[in-house]
Amino acid sequence: SPAGPEEVRFSIVTEERLVLTSSLPGRVAPVVVSEVRPQVDGIILERLFDEGSDVAGGQVLYRIDPVQYQAACNKARAELAEAEANVTAVALRESRYRNLAKANAISQQELDNVISAHGQARARIALARADLETAAINLAHTQITAPVAGRIGASSVTPGALVTANQPAALAVIRQHDPVYVDFAQSSADNLRLRRALAHGKMSANGGAAR
């Protein structure tokens, strides 16, 4: 042309490595989620934690009215003491009867009866001890403690509420926040596209895992 040749721009095409990045929605989830439930029936007297605070494992969270459980524990303790006193008396009687039996002063049947009574008295002690242990456990359960350490949420009950043993509704939920899971979601279509690109050699993995 009269103005001279046209200026032509050009660029050299070369291969280079590109890093593929994806923005994925993520969700933080606790490793441990523990629901707090009562193990005995009763009225909640007080709540001993701040909602949304961190609590320690074994920390007392609620207190149930312990009056009836304390009374049951006292009764079981008294019955154990009575059984122990009774077995002492029966043991002395058995000792006397054995001496009388040697002198043929009593019949063998009378000796057998007192030996049997001694065995029954010992059995009553074992039963009384078991009853006392059960009563003590129930009394201890009037203090509801945190099964794990973590952050506790809102309380579903207030003082004065009636709760029952192992009820379906949790009194509160504790979530451990150290460590935690972080879950990322990717659509199946995107995942399949990436796998095909890797399989056909169009892409290479970063050491076999995403960073």
Condensed to tens digits (0 to 9), the pLDDT of residues 122-146 reads 999 999 999 999 999 999 999 999 9
- More confident site: 139 or 197: 139
Q: What is the pLDDT averaged over residues 57-85?
A: 96
Neighbours of 41 (CB within 10 A): 15
Q: Report residue 2's pLDDT band, with 50, 70 and 90 as the boundaries.
A: low
Query: Which pTM does this prediction carry?
Result: 0.71
- pLDDT at position 208 is 60
The tens digit of pLDDT for each residue in 13-54 reads: 888 877 777 788 888 888 899 999 999 999 999 999 999 999
User: Residue type for 117, please?
Assistant: A
Backbone angles phi, psi at 90, to 5 degrees: -70, -35
C-alpha distances out from residue 94 to 90, 102, 122, Å: 6, 12, 13
Residue 139 vs residues 28, 88, 162: alpha-carbon distances, Å: 39, 29, 17
Tokens of 49: 């934690």
Considering only CA atoms, which of 84, 81, 71, 80 is closest in space to residue 132?
Answer: 80
Rg over alpha carbons for the chain, rounded to the nearest Å, is 38
DSSP assignment string, 88-100: HHHHHHHHHHHHH
